[in-house]
Amino acid sequence: MSAGTQSAPLPRRGAARPRAGFAAALLHRLSGIALALFLPMHFIALGTALQGADRLESFLGLTHNGFVRAAEWGLVSALALHMVLGLRVLAIEWFATRERTALIVSACVAAGLAVGLLFLLGGA
């Protein structure tokens, strides 16, 4: 092999556990995708509202089954998670601090799940 074709070994990252910043970025993107997938259903609901109260009521009748309730809980949790992780990104940019990242990410996930749990227990 010539010297130009040899590649340097890749630096090893912590294989024991993923870095908290990577987990936060991944969760932020996944929750954003979940919210984007929800948008067509939201627009359909708004469209049925424009067609009258009876059409909207029949559409909303679909939301009384268990699968849709679980999806609503996931949506509210994803929205809360996306918001708190977005606030985390803003804090990193504005305050230039990266200390205690794992603790902050854990608090963001806990806050998102707490909001989802409150929604679930509230029966909304």
Q: Could you tell me where the DSSP H helices lie in the chain?
A: 20-50, 53-60, 66-95, 101-122
Helices 66-95 and 101-122, packing angle to 10 deg: 150
Summarised one tens digit per residue, pLDDT across range 11-69 is: 555 544 567 778 888 888 999 998 898 888 888 888 888 888 888 888 888 878 888 88
Tell me which residue of 80, 66, 82, 89 sits closest to 114, measured CA to CA.
Answer: 80
In the chain the domains, ranked by start, together with CATH numbers, are 20-122 (1.20.1300.10)
pLDDT score recorded for residue 13: 54
Q: What mean pLDDT do residues 2-16 have?
A: 54
Summarised one tens digit per residue, pLDDT across range 60-118 is: 888 788 888 888 888 888 888 888 888 888 877 787 666 677 777 888 888 888 888 88
pLDDT score recorded for residue 63: 79
* 8-state DSSP, 5: T
